[in-house]
Amino acid sequence: MDIAWYLVLSAFIFCIGGAGVLTRRSPLVILICLELMLNAGNLALVAFARMTGTGDGQVFALVVMIVAACEVVVGLGLIVAMYRSHLPMDVDDMSELHG
């Protein structure tokens, strides 16, 4: 199959994820959308790996997955902590970094 199909799919998923990050206000959903974007990237990496015939891309994909796992751990932990301390579950209400 032509590599373009994989890439189109990857771009499609990436855009869904991106749109989700930009439009949704719940931190949990944003986190999920981030995962979507990462996995879109992974898809592209694996596709390229297949195309070149080397394993490099797959190794990168593995690394990204590990990072994603870490991120989820931290992110979910934060969300749980926020929930426990009765903070608003809306990212627009959390603008402590306002300059």
Region from 16-24, 52-60, 62-70, 77-85 binding another protein, contact rule CB under 8 A: 16-24
Residue 17 CB, nearest distance to another protein (Å)?
Answer: 11
Could you give the count of Cα atoms lying within 13 Å of 46 in the half-sphere of its Cβ?
15
Question: Applying CB under 8 A, does 35 fall inside the site for another protein?
Answer: no
Phi, psi of 90 (to 5 degrees): -140, 120
Q: Does 65 participate in binding another protein (rule CB under 8 A)?
A: no
Token output for 1: 């199959």
Does residue 94 touch another protein according to CB under 8 A?
yes
